[in-house]
Amino acid sequence: MIFDFGRYGKTWGYLRFQGEGVMRVWRGERAVRQFLNEQRSFRDSVGIRIEVTEEEERQILAYYENLLKDAKWRKHYPDRHHTRYRLAEDYYGVTIQCTSMSLDGLREVWPSDRFLAIFDLRFNRGRGFDAEQREYFFRRQRELSRTEVALPLDVLVALRAAIENGNPDVGEVRSYSRR
């Protein structure tokens, strides 16, 4: 199962950092293969295994399923093997985007110290943003009193550092090259 959150609808705002918060859900082996093939058709991707117990996994899945219950609408795409859900909250590149959404399940289930052992705030540097994006992002974070790691490249750096430091919660890194 894959929960894929993004701006899969209307977008607006400075640098198009805002948009309709749409979660695409891919269920089953065929759907997951479809998702991975689609992703690999236009970009390189990285997957990192994070170790959780069976109970933590159930709680994380329940967290995302609860988000879907409050969706404003849902549309099934049988030919594309997924269902789209318009979540109650909009996408916002500073606070609610694909990376922060993917970490929210862990943040919800794990104690703060365990989460911060991997995603320490020192990794929140704006890697991957150009100067204008970085300035806007951090100005808006200050205005909203937000400090967590949220940027894809920063998260990757944090996860790789956790592996290098022997953190048992972070497993293998897989690269999926563009085809």
Distance CA 3, CA 111 (A): 23
Spatial distance between the Cα atoms of 66 and 139, rounded to a whole number of angstroms: 31
**What H or E segment, with its residue span, contains residue 153?**
helix 152-164
Structure-block tokens of residue 159? 């996860």
pLDDT in tens, the chain (179 residues): 999 999 889 999 887 889 999 999 999 999 999 998 888 888 888 888 999 999 999 999 999 999 999 999 999 999 989 999 999 999 988 888 888 899 999 999 999 999 999 998 888 888 888 888 888 888 888 898 877 767 778 998 999 999 999 999 999 888 888 88
How would you class 101 by CB atoms within 10 Å of its CB: exposed for 0-12, middle for 13-18, buried for 19 or more?
A: buried
